[in-house]
Structure 1
């Protein structure tokens, strides 16, 4: 099996590194085209055996699965590059959340899927959000999820829930890290505790909490009740958080959804302008 990547930015690089690191693919199975020559050089240095292409079209024509690891604004030019060379047996996978399956299926002759990875996949953990176009068969779904299972837990979601599920799986590590950064900084300033030790403690706490939620079946509410004794320190601190954070998470979700809708509107315009392309 040959797996192609168009784009080797942050998430493209993460997928390539992780799939090799955890044995899902050998470097010789991977081929890459990118508009930044230095990224190609770095990839080849890091993973000898990867095949590099200068042309997106040549890359697309030579693989079984093609990951489109590109920004929303780059889709028009990439689709123009690859639409004529792809075949119905191939699978194109977008990792760009606002790009819709309904955008890609009319523009490409191949099978289409959307997979949203997470930085946590670099550790072989976290989720990959999976959405499938109408031409994807069961064997195609199993192939993709088998590949992703080396680096994550593949979870099929509704495309209409792309943004909210991505808030948790992909944006969540940044949100939690921000909370921890502020908490740790305050602790250092007020108590003189060692920052590196607190970073380590926070990391171990997150790992343990994740296992309680995923392996032991606790809900967040149940964990709070288990830890917070009425009238105790934790309960009093939770009351402070509830008071100060009231309404914040509604605003957080509104913010990510507003940005998603803005990107989606731009993409609608891009793909609508391609209506004269032959429909597949």
Structure 2
């Protein structure tokens, strides 16, 4: 199975590195391309044997599965360019949430799927969100799921929960990195601990917490119960959370959905205008 990746920005590079280092794809079976050629060439130096395409059309012609790792408003021009090479046996995979598989099916002659990866996939961990188009064959679904299983836990989702699922799995690492960094900064400001040591302790904590959940030793509720001893320090701290957290995450989700709606409307206008 030959894989193509068009676009080597943050997420495209994560997919390339994860596929290479997990041995999910042999270097000779992967072809990549980027608008800035030196970025793609640098990845070839890092992963000898992979192919750098000379054009998007060459990548499309080479590949059985083609990951489109470009910005949402760049999709229409890209698909227009590679459409002559998208035979019925090929599968294009979008990694962006504002574009639905239905929209891509309207303008593509081949099968379509969407995979929303996460930065955690770089460590062969976390979820990848899967949505299949109607033309996807059982074999194509099986091959795509097998590929993503090498670097993630594939979870099939409905279009209606795309944004909130992305908030939890794909954007979540940014949210909680921000919160953890704020926690570290406050510890340094309020006590004598160094930033280096506070960062080490917090990092080890979050890694250990992840392992407890991964091994199903505790769930989130039972983990809370184990740490929060009645009348103890943790309980007093959680009272502060109850008092001050308020509707923070409600507002976060509302804002991400507002932005998602804006992006979807921009994409809809473009697809309608172009096609």
TM-score range, shorter chain: over 0.9
In structure 2, the residue matched to 1:146 is 146
Q: Deviations over 1:125-157 (max 9, x none)?
A: 111111100011222111111111111111111
Cα distance per residue 1:89-130 (max 9 Å; x no partner): 111000011111111001111110000111111111111111
- Residue 86 of structure 1 contacts residue 108 of structure 1 at CA under 8 Å; is this kept in 2? yes
Structure 1: distance between partners of 2:273 and 2:85:
21
Which deviates more, 233-242 or 51-60? Answer: 51-60
| Secondary structure, aligned partner of 1:87 | coil
Query: Structure 2 CA distance, aligned partners of 1:104 and 1:122?
Result: 27
For residue 217 of structure 1, report the CA deviation from its aligned partner.
Answer: 6.3
**Contact kept? 1:127, 1:155, Cα under 8 Å:** yes
Aligned to 2:227: 227
Q: Is the 8 A contact 1:7 1:34 kept in 2?
A: yes
Corresponding residue for 2:176? 176
Displacement after TM superposition at 1:34 (Å): 1.6
Residue 115 of structure 1: aligned partner? 115
Maintained 8 Å contact 1:34/1:54: no
Query: 1:15-164 to 2 correspondence within 5 Å?
Result: 15-164=15-164
**Contact 1:187/1:193 (CA < 8 Å) preserved in 2?**
yes
Query: 3-state SS of the aligned residue for 1:113?
Result: strand
Distance 2:108 2:173 in 1: 33
Change (3 A) 1:217 1:102: farther
Whether the 8 Å CA contact 1:32–1:51 is kept in 2: the answer is yes
Local SS of the residue matching 1:102: helix
Deviation by residue 1:48-105 (Cα, 9 ceiling, x = unmatched)? 2221223211211121100000001111110111112210111100001111111100
Runs of 4+, deviation exceeding 4 Å: none
Deviation, structure 1 residue 33? 2.0
2: distance between equivalents of 1:98 and 1:180? 29
SS at match of 2:87: coil
Q: What count of residue pairs does the alignment treat as equivalent? A: 275
**Which residue of 2 is the match for residue 186 of structure 1?**
186
Q: TM-score, normalised by structure 1?
A: 0.94
Query: 1:278 — aligned with what?
Result: none
* TM-score normalised by structure 2 residue count: 0.95
Task: Please state whether the residue corresponding to 1:167 is helix, strand or coil.
Answer: helix
**Compared with structure 1, are the counterparts of its residues 194 and 15 closer, same or farther at alpha carbon in structure 2 (3 Å cutoff)?**
same
- CA offset at residue 46 of structure 1? 1.3
